[in-house]
Structures are given as C-alpha cells and as structure tokens.
A and B are shown apart, each in its own frame.
Chain A
Amino acid sequence: MNLHYLIVYLVETLLRFIPIPCKTGLIKIGNPDSNSPVILTCNYHLTVEKVRRALDGMDVNLLVANSRGINVWCSAAGGLFTNHDVVSVLKTSGIEEIVDHRNVILPQLAATSIEGNIIQKKTGWKVTWGPVYADDLPHFIKNNFKKTVEMRKVKFSLVQRVEMAVAWAFPITVIMIPIMSIFWSSAVFSLTLLIWFLSFSIFVSFPLYADYLSSEDKRIGIAFFDFSRSGFHLILWGIVVLCLVIYSVLIGDFSWRFIFSWGFISLIVVLILSLDLMGSTPVYKSSLTEDRFLKVALDKNKCNGCGFCEQVCPRNCFEVDRNRHIAAMPEAVRCVQCGACIVQCPFNALYFRSPEGEIILPQTIRKFKLNLMGKRLVKVKEN
C-alpha cells in the first residue's frame, strides 16, 4: 500500500460525510490504446483514488464525471449526478479522439439516475453497468464485462463498518470536545474514548442486531432516532451504565454524581450515533425519509422479462423467469428503495407505490431522482 493512498484514505475516512471533489476529465491508467476499456466514475476524491488503485497494472481510460464531490450512490440518488454530467465528460474530455469503440462502463450504483438509452441517444456511447465495487473491476474486465451475482450486491463488510464508525466518531469528537472543555475540561479524554468506543461497538456489532432493524417501523420515542423494535441502543446504553456502576464499586468510590453525569453523557453520544444508523448502512433505507415506506410494484402486463432490473438491483431482489419472460421480486423485503430498477426498466413496468396507495411513476423518478427537493412525493395521478 503506498503512502499517498494511505494518507488520503485515513484523512478522507475521518471526513467521510464531507464532499471532497476532484478534477473531472480523463485519467489514463497504464498505457491505454484505442481499444482499451473506458470506465467512468464520480468525482469524489476517495472514490477516484480507490478506482485508480483497483485498476493499477491495467491499461484503462478512466473518465471522472462531475458528481459535486459526492460518492456515486449518494450523488445519483440525490439528483446531483445526472445524464448531463455523463454526457458532458464523454463529449468534452477528448475521449472520443482517443478510442475507436463507443462502450463506456458505469458504476452500477449510478443506475438510480443515469439512463443508458439517453446517453446512447445523445452521444452514441453504449452504457454497460459495471460492478458495485471498484475492487471487482479487474475481474469484471477479464471476465469479458460480465458481472457475477456477487458483483451486483452492496455489502456492509467489517471494513466498511469500521470506516462508518470512524466517520461518525470523528465529527462527534470534534464537536463535543470544545463543549466539554468549557463545562468539564478534565473529562475531555474520557469523553473521546467513550465516543470512539460507542461508535465502534454500534457499527462493528451491526450483524448481531441487523435482523431486528426494519425500515417499516415507525420511529418510536423521540422523533429523530432509530431505536427501532429492538431498542438496541438503549440496551447498549444500559450496558454502559452498568459498566459505570461496576467500575465505581470496584474502585471503591461509588457516587451517584459520577453515574448520573457519565450516564447522561453516554446517552447523548448514543443518541447522536443513532441519528441515522440505518441510513449509514448500504443495506437499509435511511429512517429519516418517508421513502422507506415505498414499495416497488410490477405491472405484469408491461414486463418483458428483459432483466435490466435484475442487473442493476444492488440487493438482488429480482428473479427473472427467462422461459416465461417475466420478472418477479421474491426478495422484495430486502429493497432499499434506491429506484434503480424503476429508472432502468425500458418498458416502464415498475413503479413505486406508497402505503396510502399513491403511485409514483417512472418518469417522475427519472426527473426528480430520489429526494430532489422533496418534489418526488408530490402526488401524481396515474394516467
């Protein structure tokens, strides 16, 4: 691992929630010739570094499109990474003078926003949906641009969970330390330890309680927080308080004041960490948005079984019956409402339905993306 990448990786993981843009345009990796593959990604700096690292040793043209310094999935779903940005980098980066073919590989997670048929109509470039993770790119290229089922799935691996723990712990530390140094300066070090310990326990232990989380739960208690059915964080908080009691008994200096003040501080830290716990994972929809109640519905009369939905679904919800030419959603419960299947369906056979029975049509999602200015939840009548 080279030092430059290590530093970039560490710093940008600490600052994970801040967009860090880098220059858009063409980056040549290795010695690409006129037949080398063209791969496109967003202009979040860490993503570009990761893609470059993954492609090290290959001869590839990498195009960096403007996603406002935000990662692929977030920018695409939020309407900040659009067809225009892809068209722009294809036409203005000079790539058309460099390669003879017109095939571009896009990250699969951009499928919530980018429409392959529009890109092709406007530029003549044919879009292929690549793997979710950059690390799979070399295998994907060697495999003749075919994806395995595993390459289509988002995962919340231990590494990602540690990254998320760091991404939450660092800004909370930065915000809470000045506040604590005013009110209780001697406790700053203990507080820092507490924040990092709680953040790591919550995210690293995620698989233990993941099954109890549900996107469909209404929030209980305070409006903001993801307690969900299990009340996991309150359990964790209870453990912390218990540890405090045991600790103070063991050192033989039990005081209610000690238990009360640290119990209160740890509750605040747990609450902040739970602000958007599900939204911090790629396997659940954020509980801060009403979108999580939407269900993907399939119009069987329109479905042609072409399988675009299966190719772009990051949760493998779909199964296509190639004989009967029809798609089904046996694993609909895994859906994270990213909308990729709806945007990509060439027959407009998929749409969102809200619990109240409102229909959100594909053209509305294509236009306003996921939550762009809240416009998508404007009521739309079915034609």
Chain B
Amino acid sequence: MKILESSPGRYDMGIRILTLGRLDGVYDRLTAYIIKGQKVLDIGCGSGALTLRAAQKNAKVKGIDINPLMLEIAQNRANEAGLTQNIELCEMGVAELGSEESESYDVVMSGLCFSELSEDELGFTLKEAKRILKIGGFLLIADEVRPKNIFKRIVNWLIKIPLVIITYLIAQTTTNSVRNLPERVEEAGLQIESVRFNKMGNFIELVARRPEETTK
C-alpha cells in the first residue's frame, strides 16, 4: 500500500477504507495467538497496528520498519496508549534480521509487509524467521496475495486496475501481491497451522509454527 505509505499520517484511515474495515478483525484473530510475557517480533510494523495489539496483551514486542516517519507515528501511538514499556521500535530492514539471536522469539508476525518485499527478500525473511523463532513458536502473516483461481485473479485484477493507476500516478509504484505464500512458508521449513483466504482469494491470514524435528 505504497500510496498510503508516502503519506504516513493518512495511512491508517486509508487502509481502513481500502480493506473496508476487515483488517481489524484479521489482526485481532492473528494476535489471539499471543499470550502474556511472550517475546514478539513485528516485521514491517508501520504505524504499529499489530505491534500495539500485541503490546496490549502484555507481550514484549519489537517492531521493525524501514520508514522512519511511520515509526514516529507508531511511537506516538505507543506513548498515547501507555505501552512504551512493552514496545521497542527499530529502523531496520528485513536484511538486518541476521543481528537477532537464534531461537529468541515466541512469535514473529507481519501485516501487509511481505507484499512489498522482493523475491530474494521474501526468501531471506522466511529463512530468518524460522531461525529466530523458538521451537513451536508462531509465524503470523496477513497480506495481499495473488489469487490461485484464474477467474478470481481476473476479477481481482479488474478491481485493482483503478487503484493501481492512481497509486502509480501519485507514488509511481505498485504493490506486488505475493505468489504461493503458503508453499514458500513450507519451503522455509515451517509447518502450516492454518490458512484463511478472504472470498476474493486476494488476502491471506496464515499461521505457521516452527516444528520440533528441526532442532539445531
């Protein structure tokens, strides 16, 4: 959602309109996996939608993003909600995940970020996510994906065209929906717990776990 990101101040409202308010439900369902005291990493935390939800559950959350303006907004929201003691925000890209310790997180989550990564970055991120997750730890993903069904893909494409054109004119860029996300998660050695698509098949909620057999 680049068009909104270039003006972080309006990001939240814009996302709410574009997703017709469904995103809140998605994020609530995903963060239901988080329990008190857990250590959580939010990849591409943006304005902090997932980060704040997790912090409200008294988990210790580290939110990373490459956009310093978005992080400022997230920090302000954390201050307002009085959750600063649970939240650590870092200007950091996925490529720097190597600095995180192995098996140090209970949950790694990401909302609307994977669709902005390149192929190489996505593969790298999934590999790193597996490494830093504790055995049995959860990977939670909510993102735009490319529908599998060809008919849905066409309908989705038609709906998206006006949006893509507007986005392109203003932000000179487009989002690229992730292809075959569940397969790629499995390739990275994570075990899928549940996958839920919306009716259009263009939005995924994915829960995966680091399986036991892959100990060091």
A binds B: yes
Q: Chain A residue with minimal CB distance to B8?
A: A373
What separation, in Å, do the CA atoms of A92 and B172 have in the docked complex? 24
Interface string of A343-375 (1 = CB under 8 A from B): 000000000000000000000000100000101
Q: B173–A92 contact, CB under 8 A?
A: no
CB-contact partner of B121 in A18, A82, A92, under 8 A: A92
B65 (CB) vs chain A CBs: closest residue: A84
Closest Cβ neighbor of B2 among chain A residues:
A68
Cα-based distance from A70 to B121 in the complex (angstroms) = 19
Assuming the contacts A25-B119, A373-B69, asked whether A91 and B124 have C-beta atoms less than 8 A apart, the reply is: yes
Shortest beta-carbon distance from B137 to chain A in Å: 22
Does residue B66 face the partner (Cβ distance < 8 Å to A)? yes
* Residue in B closest to A367 when the chains form the complex, CB atoms: B68
Interface string of A1-45 (1 = CB under 8 A from B): 000000000000000001101011100000000000000000000
A327 to chain B, nearest CB (A): 29
Assess whether B96 is interfacial by the CB under 8 Å rule: yes
Q: State whether B7 touches A94 (Cβ < 8 A).
A: no
Tell me which residues across on chain A come within 8 A of B66, comparing CB atoms: 82, 84
**Closest A residue by C-beta to B69:** A373
Q: Does B120 contact A (CB under 8 A)?
A: yes
Contact (A25, B172) CB under 8 Å given A82-B66, A90-B95, A373-B69: no
Assess the B96–A19 pair: CB atoms within 8 A: no
> Is A19 within 8 A of B173, CB to CB?
yes
Q: Is the Cβ of B173 less than 8 Å from the Cβ of A88?
A: no
B96 touches A87 (CB 8 A): yes
| B73-123 contacts to A (CB < 8 Å) | 93-96, 98, 118-121, 123
Contact (Cβ within 8 A) B69 A88: no
Residues of A within 8 A of B194 (CB): none
- Is there contact, CB below 8 Å, between B172 and A69? yes
A91 and B123 in contact, given A68-B172, A68-B173 (Cβ under 8 angstroms): no
A66-B96 in contact (CB<8A): no
Let me know if A173 is at the binding interface, CB within 8 A.
no
Contact with B along A86-106 (1 / 0, CB 8 A): 011111111000000000000
Q: How far is the CA of A275 from the CA of B95 in the complex (A)?
A: 40
A122 at the interface (CB under 8 A from B): yes
CB distance from A92 to the nearest CB of B (A): 4
Contacting A at CB under 8 A, from B149-163, are none
Q: How far is the CA of A289 from the CA of B95 in the complex (A)?
A: 34
Q: Judging by beta carbons under 8 Å apart, are A69 and B173 in contact?
A: yes
Note all chain A residues with C-beta closer than 8 A to B198: none
Q: Is the CB of B121 within 8 A of A88?
A: yes
- Total A-B residue contacts, Cβ distance less than 8 Å: 51
Pair A19/B172 contact, Cβ less than 8 Å: yes
Flag if A373 contacts B7 (CB, 8 Å): yes
Number of interface residues of B (CB under 8 A): 18
Known contacts A19-B173, A373-B69; is A84 also within 8 Å of B120 by CB? Answer: no
Distance in angstroms from B73 CB to nearest chain A CB is 13
- Alpha-carbon distance between A69 and B174 when the two chains are bound, in angstroms: 10
A358 to B44 CA separation, bound complex (whole angstroms): 35
Contact residues, A69-91 vs B (CB, 8 A)? 69-70, 82, 84, 87-91
A93 to chain B, nearest CB (A): 5
B180 within 8 A of A: no
Give CA–CA (A84, B65) in the complex, Å: 10
Instruction: Tell whether, in the assembled complex, residue B98 and residue A91 are in contact, meaning their CB atoms are under 8 Å apart.
Output: yes
| Distance between B123 CB and nearest chain A CB, rounded to angstroms | 7
Q: How far is the CB of A12 from chain B (nearest CB, A)?
A: 15
Task: Give Cα distance in the complex from A94 to B119, angstroms.
Answer: 12
Q: Check A373–B95 contact: CB distance below 8 A.
A: no
A23 and B123 CA atoms in complex are apart in Å by: 15
Chain A residues whose CB sits within 8 angstroms of the CB of B69 once the complex forms? 373, 375
Task: Report the separation of the CA atoms of residues A91 and B118 in the bound assembly, to the nearest whole angstrom.
Answer: 12
Q: Which of chain B's residues has its CB closest to A122's CB?
A: B96
Q: Which residues from A are CB-within-8-Å of B6?
A: 373
* A-side contacts of B98, CB under 8 Å: 91
Q: Which residues of B contact A375 (CB under 8 A)?
A: 69
Q: How far is the CB of B44 from chain A (nearest CB, A)?
A: 11
Measured between alpha carbons, how far is A329 from B7 in the docked complex, in Å? 37
A328 to B173 Cα, complex, angstroms: 40
Which chain A positions have C-beta within 8 A of B121?
Answer: 88, 92
Residues of chain B having any CB pair with chain A under 8 Å: 6-7, 66, 68-69, 93-96, 98, 118-121, 123-124, 172-173
Given contacts A91-B95, A93-B120, 17 further A-B contacts (CB under 8 A): A23-B118, A24-B118, A66-B118, A69-B172, A84-B93, A87-B95, A88-B94, A88-B118, A89-B95, A90-B95, A91-B96, A92-B94, A92-B118, A92-B123, A92-B124, A373-B7, A375-B69
Write 20 A-B pairs (CB below 8 A) sorted by A numbering.
A18-B172, A19-B173, A23-B119, A24-B118, A24-B120, A25-B120, A82-B66, A84-B93, A89-B95, A89-B120, A91-B95, A91-B96, A91-B98, A92-B94, A92-B95, A92-B118, A92-B121, A92-B123, A92-B124, A375-B69
